[in-house]
Each structure stands twice: as C-alpha cells, then as structure tokens.
Amino acid sequence: SYYSFCYNFYRFCFENYSEFFFRCIRQLRYLCWECLIIFCLLLQRKLPVETVYIDIKDSAVGWHAIKDMVVRGAPAIAISAALSLAVELVHRDYANESAEDAFVYLQNRLNYLTSSRPTAVNLVDASTKLQDVAREAVLLSSQAGFVFEAYVEAAENMLVADIATNKAIGENGANHLLSVSQESRGSKGLNILTHCNTGSLATAGYGTALGVIRSLHSLRKLEAVFLTETRPYNQGSRLTAYELVHEKIPATLVADSAAASLQMAGRVDAVIVGADRIAANGDTANKIGTYSLALAAFHHGIPFYVAAPLTSIDISLPSGNRIEIEQRSPVELTHSHGGHGPQIAATGISVWNPAFDVTPAKLITAIITEKGIICKKDGCADFDIQAFISGA
C-alpha cells in the first residue's frame, strides 16, 4: 500500500542518512508526517560496539526503554517519555471519547511514565507542562482529537526546544569560562574534566556539560577533555568517549579513581557536570561520583560548574536532602556491562548501588543555564535560584 511504501522509504532514509543530515549522533529519531509516525531510540546499552535503533510504539515500550537504560540522561528521558505517548495517540481510536476522557487518559499515561525513574526532575516537569497543555485544550474544545493534537504538538516542540536550549547553555558556559580564565590562561585552551554522559546521547542533541565542551572546541579554546569512566554503568567510557571520538574532540579517558590525582597534578582548569535535579539552594543531584569530583575540585581550588537547563531545577525543594536517589540493581555492580556481562564480584557479596549523589551547593562555583549563569552572592554558600528565575 501507499502507506507502507512511504513508511519503508522514510525508515530507509532514517536508518541510512540521518547522521548525515543531522551531522551528529542522534539518540532520538522522530518523524511525524501526515499519518506517518516513526519514533526510534538508540539502544545505548549496545554502544559503543553496536549501533542499533529500536522502535518505540507506545508509552509502555517507552517506560521500559527508560527503566532499562535504552535511553538515559535527564532531558532525553523526559522527551522520550513525551514522544512515546505521542506515538501511541496517533494510532489510537478515540471516536467515542470526549475531550475530558482524553485528558484523563493523558494524565494517567503521563503519571505512569514518570514512575520509570525517580531522580531526574525533567520527566516530572515535562509531564506537568503536557498536562497543562491538555487541560487548556479541554477548555477550548469538546473533541478528544483536539486534545490529543495539542498534546502531540507540545511534545514535538519539546524535542525542538531542547536542542536550542543546549546550544544556549553551551554558548553561555563557554563565554563565561573564557571570561573568567582569560587572565590566567591567555590564548591557551582550557582543560576540562567531565563526568557521566551529558551530550547528544543524553539530550535531544548537542548536550549540556558536553555542550559547553563542544562550544569551547568550536571556538578553538579547548585544550583537552578528561572524561571519567563513570562506574558502574560506564556512561563516560562507553558514551561520552563515543561522542568525543566521533567529533574528533581531543579527549582522555581516566578511571573514576584517578580523577582526584589528575586535579592535584594541575591538569584541570575546570570541572563541568550535568544535573538530574537541582534544589532551590543549588544542591545538585547528578551521577554517582559527582560529589567526589566536587570535593577534590574544592580542595584544589578548581572551579566546579553544573550545566543544566532550567527544567532540571526543582524549586519546590529547599535543599538537596529530600531528593529521591534511585537505587539500581546489584547486578550492575556484580556483573560487567551494566549487569548484562560476565560476573566480576564474588557471589553472595551485598551491594549498595545508588545511581546518583547530591553535591552540596557550597562546592559548586556556578550553574550554567540557557538563560545565563547563576552565581552566588558574595559570602554565600548557597545559590538564590528563585531570585535568578524571577529575574530571568
């Protein structure tokens, strides 16, 4: 049929040319044109050895893709959840549903999607915004189709907006770093240490902390990047290394346990990491190991930056001690390849495997956002993020 011809044609183009068109690795491949809709996620568990995309047909498949780390990274999971539901809606028969039914349906599916991973606030933020869009649509029409269309449009806009946001974070971060380091570094490029994966694979494209690094590189102001392995899931050695090699950005992989020595050796000008949830005072939940990097940076007088979109801020939490930290399965520690490879720990050992830790605001120099740099007032250990947001 015409439909299946179009589907196969676009699928073929997607599979073979999308990296060429987009000029970078894409975690999310989404195409919606008339009745044609394709949403695929790069199966990150197979990287860097194999490049395999899987079809996301509905929100149940989306939920499992997030939970099982097919896709990870705070902005990427929020957008993946939103689009997985968009795909479901396009195939849904809603002939006998009212606008109110459509809203209740969306609310239930979004609440289900937010239960996939608890720490990153971006998922909750996306769900809240999409429910608001659906609620407004109900006021404008009694048709379920109208509500669903408004939802799909808003979800698609999130995909587009995230790339623009990341580019702004990259630019703001690079300009800030250059302005504060110019005196000490002169024309020499900066050496940056980063953790986990915050790049194209963790977002709709470009990245947050890795976006700042990309920006510095394109300005020819980057000497080198040091990236940690990021045990136990190895987002650094598998994913960040993959992105940096792909883009020929000079980079050196270090074991997590080498990061403090690297800083002591004077080889790092700044540390830049991403965020999963930032409390109102600036305390930041991010990949486990971030706190140790921040402690070492503080001790050695090295600036420590968090680069994140405003959607990573949870203004409802006064500090980081109420952030829920996801505990991952013991097999991710006892076995290699995120629990999918051979056993590497003694049988019977008990395991504590938090996926994230909270870095106190006191250890953070500044927060780089798409709306500018959040700095502390003189003499303050905490940030006043509410004041920044009100003024932004």
Q: Supply the minimum distance, in Å, between the C-beta of residue 73 and ligand MRU.
A: 4
Rg for the chain (alpha carbons), in Å? 21
Q: Supply the minimum distance, in Å, between the C-beta of residue 11 and ligand MRU.
A: 28
CA–CA separation, 142 vs 178, rounded Å?
A: 54
Residue with token string 């608001």: 132
Query: Which residue, 198 or 334, is less far from ligand MRU as judged by CB?
Result: 198
Q: Supply the minimum distance, in Å, between the C-beta of residue 44 and ligand MRU.
A: 8
Cross-strand pairs, 358? 285
Query: Which residue, 191 or 286, is less far from ligand MRU as judged by CB?
Result: 286
Query: Which residue, 44 or 59, is less far from ligand MRU as judged by CB?
Result: 44
Query: Which residue, 147 or 193, is less far from ligand MRU as judged by CB?
Result: 193
Residue nearest to ligand MRU (CB): 274
Residue with token string 């990870």: 72
Q: Supply the minimum distance, in Å, between the C-beta of residue 120 and ligand MRU.
A: 6
How far lies 192's CA from each of 174, 313, 369, 375, in Å?
11, 24, 18, 20
Closest CA to 290 of 25, 280, 281, 278: 278
Query: Which residue, 263 or 286, is less far from ligand MRU as judged by CB?
Result: 286
Which residues in this chain contact ligand MRU in the complex, by CB under 6 A? Answer: 72-75, 120, 196, 198, 202-203, 208, 235, 274-276, 286-287, 355
CB contact at 8 A, 285 and 358: yes
Query: Which residue, 97 or 162, is less far from ligand MRU as judged by CB?
Result: 162
Q: Supply the minimum distance, in Å, between the C-beta of residue 274 and ligand MRU.
A: 3
Enzyme catalytic residues: 276
Q: Supply the minimum distance, in Å, between the C-beta of residue 56 and ligand MRU.
A: 17
